[in-house]
Amino acid sequence: MKIIKVSGSHYECGKQIGMACAEALHRSLANSRAWIDGCNLWDDYRAAAQPYWAATERAFPWVVDEIRGAAEGAGIDFQDLFTTAVEEIFAGPLVGRCSDFAARPPASDGHVLLAHNNDLSPATQELIVGVEWRLPDHPTLFTIGVGGLFLSIGLNAAKVCLTGNELSPNDERPGIPRLLIARALLSARSFGEAAAIALHPDRASSYNNLISTAEGEIASVEASATDHEMLFPEEGWLVHTNHYSHPRMKQYERASDKIAGSISRFERASELMRARPGPATLPMLKTFLADHDASPVALCRHGEKNKTVFSALIDLTDGTVDAAVGNPCHSEFARVWAIG
């Protein structure tokens, strides 16, 4: 995995990412443009992104500064780069995305542990970048995502961690893009602050934001644009994939006929945690991430259109992140970051 370190103001950090990851960001932009159907031009998408830009500027101007810096560093038009961050305007087929495990005592070895598989298109695998951010006004943080700028997961020096899963709510609206809510969330110094950011009233939609702290606070903030529920560990653990699992939130599922793969991963993850041979450890969770025993979609996904492109094992108690690029069944995990 490519790892870079950036420091300075939000704009300066963005610019450093843009310079270091220019090729990946250009390819990410090209991938976004490839989603366009024959009835629309790129300028239509740029126009559609305008209210999302305005909402983000009002709520988190520093996030916009990071994108401005990255655009300059990579030599990309700012509005083009911002548009790629607005997932809500790119309609496309629903595909499996991420699988998550979280464990704390009594389900774990005494530590707060997280395990995450990230499923995207195979071409995305070589665009995955880890970034250490040192900012004057926020805790130092480490993120992993596409092109360095757009994160999938992260951990900060306050030991607030974000993993989670893409959802497909049916009440999306113009507002702060869910991808940028995720970035803003990692500025938090506490569970309560992180949850408040996840549930910002001007959010355009939402992921399932799995927020955890070293103190053992763990919750899946399962939200749509206009509603939410929180799911907490039972017997010290929880799992989540890419569908609404809280009974009251199922009304927001946009395409309930297309979540069979997510359900199969959720059920298998739950089965593995229930049948685990003892307290969860990182080596045990690594084997769970590499599991192929589910149908129609396994936790460790191999496919021509969608596969596991990176995995992470996080010990929040110790403040460490181990990660592997590619399928966890055959990729080597390495320590990519540690607090301090």
Do the domain assignments include residue 117? yes
* 87 Ramachandran zone, left/alpha/beta (phi>0; psi -120 to 50): alpha
pLDDT digits (tens, 9 = 90+) for 192-239: 999 999 999 999 999 999 999 999 999 999 999 999 999 999 999 999
* 159 Ramachandran zone, left/alpha/beta (phi>0; psi -120 to 50): left
What per-residue confidence (pLDDT) applies to 220?
A: 98
Q: How many domains does the chain have?
A: 1
Do the domain assignments include residue 31? no
Do the domain assignments include residue 66? no
Q: Which two tokens stand for residue 141?
A: 């943080």
pLDDT digits (tens, 9 = 90+) for 270-315: 999 999 999 999 999 999 999 999 888 999 999 888 999 999 999 9
Q: Which two tokens stand for residue 250?
A: 């199922």
**From CA 329, how far away is CA 308, in angstroms rounded?**
10
Q: Give the model's confidence band at 146: pLDDT under 50 very low, under 70 low, under 90 confident, else very high.
A: very high
Do the domain assignments include residue 50? no
Q: Which two tokens stand for residue 39?
A: 């009835």
pLDDT digits (tens, 9 = 90+) for 237-251: 999 999 999 999 999
Do the domain assignments include residue 193? yes
Domain of residue 138, residue span:
95-338
Do the domain assignments include residue 287? yes
CA atoms within 13 A of residue 252's CA, in its CB half-sphere:
25
Q: How far is CA 324 from CA 31, 53, 259, in A?
A: 23, 33, 26
The partner residues of 229 in beta bridges, in order of sequence, read 222
Return the ∠ at Cα 62 (arms to 139 and 29), rounded to 5°: 110
What per-residue confidence (pLDDT) applies to 236?
A: 98
What per-residue confidence (pLDDT) applies to 94?
A: 56
Do the domain assignments include residue 35? no
CA atoms within 13 A of residue 272's CA, in its CB half-sphere:
30
What per-residue confidence (pLDDT) applies to 33?
A: 84
**From CA 185, how far away is CA 193, in angstroms rounded?**
8
CATH of the domain at 235: 3.60.60.10
Do the domain assignments include residue 261? yes
Is residue 96 over pLDDT 80?
no
Average per-residue pLDDT in the chain?
95
What per-residue confidence (pLDDT) applies to 295?
A: 87
Q: Give the model's confidence band at 316: pLDDT under 50 very low, under 70 low, under 90 confident, else very high.
A: very high
Query: Which of 299, 264, 301 lies closest to 285 in space, CA to CA?
Result: 299
pLDDT digits (tens, 9 = 90+) for 20-60: 999 999 998 988 887 776 567 899 999 999 999 999 999 99
